Amino acid sequence: MKHYLAAAFNLSGPLPDESSEDLTEFFNQFVEKTQESKKEGEFAITNINADGNQLSFVIASVNSVPPHVALLRIRKQLAEAIGKKYRVGLRGFEFRKYTIETEIEQEPLKEFTLPLTKKIEFSKKEDKFYAKIEIDPEIPEDFVEKGTIERIVRRVNDKAAKQHYGAKKEHHEIVWSSGEKELFTDQNPTTLMQEANWIQRTNYRNQWILSPTITTLAEAMKQIMVDYIYKPLGYDQMMIPKLVDWSIWLRSEHAEGIYQGGFEPYFVVQPKEPTPEYFEEIADYITITKTIPTEKLAEKVTAPIGGLSYAQCPPFWAWLQGKTLAKSSLPIKIYDWSGPTYRYEAGSAYGFERVDELHRIETLFIGSPKQAKKAGTAVRDKMRIIFNEVLDLEVREAQVMPWWLQQSASEQKMDKETDLVGTIDYEAYMPYRGTREESEWLEIQNVSIIGTKYPKGFSVKAEGNVELWSGCCGGSFERFLTAFISQKGLDQKNWPEPFLKYIDKLPETIKFH
């Protein structure tokens, strides 16, 4: 890697002329020490110039200490050296120009820029690819201190690689199948349920009102999960918060994937001032016009402070954050269905299988790698029984590349953990969509063994420094029931006995005149 940094320290006052020898000596020593510590590479500091309240210099390095790292070290040492002797303090630094030339793994398919960079140029020399990154000189000091430059360099490499990766088809391999089942309809299940008054669209996009009838079926599904999974495997229920602030999505790394194809949250804002006076004009306006002045309202609320529950388990981790778990408490096994999950499903209106307000059951396990693997396998076995035997659904298991592995785009990591860490999707055949071979099956549930990602992200440890892994599984009632109705129809006489056992009597639907 090749770096060039022209920068300056801001001083509390001018340095006296007689300091110039000391400065030369200081920088020479710094360069010498750096070269000694790094046997290879080149490192030089030139153009040292004290002028008024600024001390400017140029650091150039090739395969050696990056200049911004050197600058932070110099700042500390120099502050001591000149502070005492000349009573001049260092008041931070400014960049004038910073360029970083680095080799990247793949040639980008198209150019791109990044925040906090001025320019990124790509080139190719003898089958090798290079990026020349010019850092925005306005980059805040604390970002330089906290690793932003390193992450810019990494992001350039990953973004170029991802352009190739994105063009490839997502990894999807069928690893188990229930085989063909008896199907009783080839109608669109959403239409069937709408016509029967089991579900009704609201005024809001992809949101539905669930009648007593469909709620009874959801309740039955819930009870089946309890009886087949949670009771025998020893899972406890808990209530995970459903409003998620940024600190959580930062740690879970969801924030990094915001609207990048895997995380499409609803945002939450707060009133800037929660007082009657502040909102009085809005209240008056609504009262006299019977309309909502949304633009005006937008001025009175904050920027998003986070959003609504998206993947259910991230806010759970705030509970364990920074703690060390007792060995006797492992593995932790919990489930949650205490509230809806929200996703902004882009595109046109969808049926009941793709809603913006969904009702998911989340299964979560945490333990040693061995415990996590065992828990994940056990849940997977039970899921098969529920879908295949209780609901008698035509389903298959697909091994897919989960977004959290995809996002990191790190092939190395994949190779190492791939046989243990990963996601199994359950997919149901939807006859109304076409043939088994050609139509798109519906994902109804996933089972994921996630590895160290969450314990690391939330700084959770285990007694005796045992490595901690976690895994989670999510499936929505909307998907279970859409899949079920699309294969079995509305007529209960065609429904499997083990499922019917969980339904006393379906409530009468409300009839409209």
Rounded least distance, CB 334 to ligand ATP, Å = 17
Single out the catalytic residue among 313, 336, 392, 427: 313
Which of 206, 446, 473, 478 is flagged as catalytic? 446
Q: What DSSP state is assigned to residue 506?
A: P
Rounded to 5 degrees, what are φ and ψ at 334? -135, 160
Residue in 155, 472, 473, 478 annotated catalytic: 472
What residues from 478 to 497 belong to the interface with ligand ATP (CB under 6 A)? 478-479
CB nearer Zn ion, residue 7 or residue 472? 472
Pairing of strands 236-237, 332-336: parallel
Instruction: Give whichever of 213 and 445 is closer to ligand ATP, judged by the CB atom.
Output: 445
Distance CA(94)–CA(115), nearest Å, equals: 18
Task: State yes or no: residue 159 binds ligand ATP (CB under 6 A).
Answer: no
Closest approach of ligand ATP to the CB of residue 245, in Å = 20
**With b meaning 16 or more CB within 10 Å and e meaning fewer, what string describes 128-150?**
ebbbbbebeeebeeeebeeebbe
Residues in the chain: 513
d(CA 359, CA 340): 5
Task: Pick the catalytic residue from 343, 353, 360, 473.
Answer: 343
Distance of CA 210 to the CA centre of its chain: 30
- Helices 212-225, 477-488: inter-axial angle, 10-degree rounding: 110
Whether residue 446 lies in the annotated active site: yes
**Comparison of 93 and 263: residue with beta carbon closer to ligand ATP:** 263
Cβ closest to Zn ion, residue 297 vs residue 401: 401
362 catalytic residue (yes or no): yes
Chosen from ligand ATP, Zn ion, none, partner binding at 313 (C-beta under 5 to 8 Å by type): Zn ion
Under 8 Å CB-to-CB from 356, ≥6 apart: which residues?
Answer: 204, 205, 206, 207, 266, 342, 343, 344, 345
CA angle 193, 197, 198 (to 5 degrees): 55
User: Catalytic site residue 121?
Assistant: no
Task: Provide the minimum distance between the beta carbon of 509 and ligand ATP in the complex, in angstroms, as a whole number.
Answer: 22
CA distance 452 to 456: 6
445: contact with ligand ATP by CB under 6 A: yes
Output the six-digit token pair for 467.
């490595």
Contacted by 472, from Zn ion, ligand ATP, none: CB < 5 to 8 Å by type: Zn ion
**Nearer Cβ to Zn ion, position 366 or 391?**
366
Which residue from 60, 193, 472, 485 is in contact with Zn ion, where contact means CB under 5 A? 472
425 catalytic? Reply is yes
Stretch that binds Zn ion, among 80-88, 152-160, 166-174, 467-475 (CB under 5 A): 467-475
Active-site residue (options: 94, 227, 345, 389)? 345
Tokens, residue 58: 């140029």
- Region for 81 from its dihedrals, namely left if φ exceeds 0, alpha if ψ lies in -120 to 50, beta otherwise: alpha
Query: Quick one: 70 or 472, whose CB is closer to Zn ion?
Result: 472
Per DSSP, 301 falls in state: B
In the complex, least distance from residue 443 CB atom to ligand ATP, rounded to whole angstroms? 4
Q: Which does 406 bind (CB under 5 to 8 A by kind): ligand ATP, Zn ion, none?
A: none
Sole binder of ligand ATP in the list 188, 190, 406, 446 (CB under 6 A): 446
| Binders of Zn ion in range 289-328 (CB under 5 A) | 313
Question: Residue 472 CB, nearest distance to Zn ion (Å)?
Answer: 3
Q: Is 473 a catalytic residue?
A: no
- Are residues 304 and 322 in contact, defined by beta-carbon separation less than 8 angstroms? no
Identify whether 443 is a catalytic site residue: yes
Distance CA 131, CA 484 (A): 52
Nearer to ligand ATP, 329 or 439 (CB): 439
Min CB(405)–Zn ion separation in Å:
14
- Does the annotation mark 313 as catalytic? yes
Q: Which is nearer to Zn ion, 256 or 463 (CB)?
A: 256
For 4, the 3-state DSSP assignment is: strand
For residues 139 and 59, what is the distance between their CA atoms, to the nearest angstrom? 18
Q: How far apart are CA 227 and CA 240, in angstroms?
A: 21
Interface with ligand ATP in residues 301-360 (CB under 6 A): 343, 345, 354-355, 358, 360
Contacts for 288 with CB less than 8 Å, ≥ 6 apart: none
Q: Say whether 360 is catalytic.
A: no
160: its two tokens: 């170029």
Helix, strand, coil shares of the chain as percentages rounded to 5? 40, 25, 35
* Least distance in angstroms from the C-beta of 447 to ligand ATP: 10
CB of 372 to Zn ion, least distance (A): 13
The answer to whether the CB of 107 falls within 8 A of the CB of 124 is: yes
Which residues contact ligand ATP by CB under 6 A?
A: 343, 345, 354-355, 358, 360, 443-446, 474-476, 478-479
Which residues contact Zn ion by CB under 5 A?
A: 313, 472
Q: Which residues are catalytic?
A: 313, 343, 345, 354, 362, 425, 443, 446, 472, 479
